Amino acid sequence: MAKYVAVAGKGGVGKTTFTALLLRQIINNNRDISILAVDADPNANLNEALGLEVTATISDLLEETKNPKAIPAGMPKDVFVEYKLQQTLVESQDIDLLVMGGPQGPGCYCYPNDLLRKYLENLGSNYDLIAIDTEAGLEHISRRTIPHVDMMFVISDSSARGIRSAGRVHDLIKGLHSAVGEVYLVVTKTSDNSLDALSEEIAKTGLKLIGEIPLDSSVVELDLAGQALYNLPDDSKAVQAVQKILERTQIF
């Protein structure tokens, strides 16, 4: 069965960067692991970090299925939705990607969401790892479109405010009905004494600190150039830090 790993935290803290680098390391360490990345952040840009092109999101598709005229005559609705869901899957050599897309408008989405849940459940059995770049509110997990999470990384930048916000995400996780296994804190964009300075705030969150990712100018440069983070050199500080975190988790 696939392992579900989710990455959470408020916008701009480094979730997508961490997710992309984690997947980079997992693949570099073992090419046999099959990976589905799910971008569940409405502000979706995991595809860019991974260097993949997306043509349609799940949200676009769910919206489309609300219009009866979009369904070809004689085709049952569930067959149509499944067919469309398959089209939203981006396949590449190392990683496949699904993009959830923006928030859903008013009205009931129960029916397509049920289909989406089933689709994800079935899809899950094709992969060793499902990695989810989530939004701060953890909506897809609370709605159970994502069935469960084995390991959750809560990301914070190197500020007291960031750590407090990570603490609130931790509270949200504790309130979820879905089962969540290990929960770890990762502090990003750190300098030499960030962790010392933040240690009291970190302790208050109750989160287990698994590592830090230093501020890395090569990450900033690639981002400025609009290039995939996936292409960072092995000796970049951020890559090495993520590798260390991966080893501590012992997930693969």
Ligand X SMILES: Nc1ncnc2c1ncn2[C@@H]1O[C@H](COP(=O)(O)OP(=O)(O)O)[C@@H](O)[C@H]1O
Instruction: Give the residues lining the site for ligand X (CB under 6 A).
Output: 9, 11-17, 188-189, 213, 215-216, 219-220, 223, 238
User: Is 187 exposed, middle or buried (CB count within 10 Å of its CB: 0-12, 13-18, 19+)?
Assistant: buried
Q: Which stretch binds Mg ion (CB under 5 A): 39-47, 92-100, 166-174, 192-200?
A: 39-47
16 makes contact with Mg ion (CB under 5 A): yes
11 vs 181 by CB, closer to ligand X: 11
Work out what residue 213 binds among Mg ion, ligand X, none; the CB cut-off runs from 5 to 8 Å by kind. Answer: ligand X
Instruction: For the CB of residue 12, give the shortest distance to Mg ion in the complex, in Å.
Output: 8
Binding mask 157-196 for Mg ion (x = CB under 5 A): ----------------------------------------
The residue of the chain with the least Cβ separation from Mg ion equals 16
104 vs 134 by CB, closer to Mg ion: 134
156 makes contact with Mg ion (CB under 5 A): no
96 vs 216 by CB, closer to ligand X: 216
45 vs 142 by CB, closer to Mg ion: 45
16 vs 165 by CB, closer to Mg ion: 16
74 vs 226 by CB, closer to ligand X: 226
In the block, tokens 């150039």 appear at 225
Q: Which stretch binds Mg ion (CB under 5 A): 33-41, 55-63, 80-88, 206-214?
A: 33-41
Cα–Cα distance, 153 to 165 (Å, whole number) = 14
- 136-155: buried (b, 16+ CB within 10 Å) or exposed (e) per residue? bebbbbeeebbeebbbbbbb
104 makes contact with Mg ion (CB under 5 A): no
Instruction: For the CB of residue 162, give the shortest distance to ligand X in the complex, in Å.
Output: 10
Cα–Cα distance, 250 to 252 (Å, whole number) = 5
